[in-house]
Amino acid sequence: YRDIEFNILHIKDVINLLSLATNFIVILATNFIVVAVY
């Protein structure tokens, strides 16, 4: 049971990291577009 719980927590951590990375990429892309427009 502990292994299953650990795997679930690990998956949640990975999802959190992916969402953070996605947000970071979106911010970078937005800044790049703004700079390109101006």
- pLDDT recorded at residue 11: 94
In the numeric block, which tokens belong to residue 32? 């790049």
Rg (CA), the chain: 16
How far CA 2 is from CA of 7, 9, 24, in Å, comes to 9, 11, 33
Question: Closest Cα partner for 12 from 27, 4, 28, 24?
Answer: 4
| pLDDT per position as a tens digit, 1-38 | 678 888 989 999 999 999 999 999 999 999 999 998 87
- pLDDT recorded at residue 18: 97
- pLDDT recorded at residue 3: 85
- Is this prediction's pTM over 0.85? no
Structure letter (DSSP) for residue 9 = H
In the block, tokens 């427009």 appear at 37
- pLDDT recorded at residue 37: 87
Q: What type of residue sits at position 15?
A: I
